[in-house]
């Protein structure tokens, strides 16, 4: 169902921390995007080249995700408490830095993913996850120095 919302289980948190070979790259990406706020339709938009329904079925089978009951979480499961996002002008500057580096080094598909993620941010935990995903994408595409330099800029904006 398109409006179903999932959250990560403790087993998923452990899987993400240890990076075992249990999941494919695309399944890991979908697992990272699951935050207790996004519904299945949003996940499909964020991962258009992935069979999200099959991936979710696999993640459920492995007990890495569970259906969210009640209202969506106010912050992603990995966040320690629901913290407010930075001031709008700081968040806009961070968004601009992520956009620029994504456009220049990752391409339009990644740019669209990160823009969609910024549009649905629910707290600092979600922002941290987004920045981790962005940095990982840059590093895996061979742009480690760019990721490090822009991340330093982002940290100074947020400080």
User: What pTM does this model have?
Assistant: 0.49
Q: What residues form DSSP beta bridges with 5?
A: 39
Q: What distance in Å separates the CA atoms of residue 71 and residue 84, rounded to the nearest whole number?
A: 18
pLDDT recorded at residue 76: 39
Q: What is the CA radius of gyration of the chain?
A: 15
Question: Comparing 1-10, 27-36, 55-64, 102-111, which segment has the lowest mean pLDDT?
Answer: 1-10
Mean of pLDDT over the chain: 82
Task: Tell me how far apart the alpha carbons of residues 10 and 78 are, in angstroms, rounded to a whole number.
Answer: 10
pLDDT band at 97 (very low <50, low <70, confident <90, very high): very high
What proportion of the chain, given as a percentage, has pLDDT over 70? Answer: 90
What pLDDT is recorded for position 149?
Answer: 93
pLDDT higher than threshold 80 for residue 141? yes
Please state the rounded mean pLDDT for residues 49-64: 90
In sequence order, what are the residues at sequence separation of 6 or more whose Cβ sits closer than 8 angstroms to the Cβ of residue 159?
none
Q: How far is CA 127 from CA 62, 70, 95, 122, 151, in A?
A: 26, 23, 10, 8, 13
CA-angle at 75, arms to 67 and 18, nearest 5° = 70
What is residue 80's predicted lDDT score, i.e. its pLDDT? 39
Q: Where are the domains of the chain?
A: 6-67, 88-158
What confidence score (pLDDT) does residue 79 get? 38
Lookup result for tokens 């459920």: 60
């Amino acid at each position: 169902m398109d409006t179903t919302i999932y959250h990560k289980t403790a087993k998923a948190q452990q899987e993400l921390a240890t990076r075992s070979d249990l999941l494919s790259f695309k399944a890991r990406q979908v697992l990272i995007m699951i935050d207790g706020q996004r519904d299945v339709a949003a996940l499909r938009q964020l991962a258009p080249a992935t069979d999200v329904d099959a991936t979710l079925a696999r993640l459920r089978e492995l007990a890495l995700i569970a259906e969210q009951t009640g209202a969506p979480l106010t912050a992603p499961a990995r966040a320690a408490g629901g913290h407010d996002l930075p001031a709008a002008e700081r968040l806009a500057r961070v968004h601009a830095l992520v956009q620029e580096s994504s456009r220049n080094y990752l391409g339009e598909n990644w740019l669209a993913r990160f823009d969609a993620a910024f549009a649905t941010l629910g707290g600092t935990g979600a922002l941290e996850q987004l920045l981790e995903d962005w940095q990982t994408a840059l590093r895996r595409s061979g742009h480690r120095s760019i990721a490090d330099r822009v991340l330093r800029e982002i940290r100074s904006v947020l400080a």
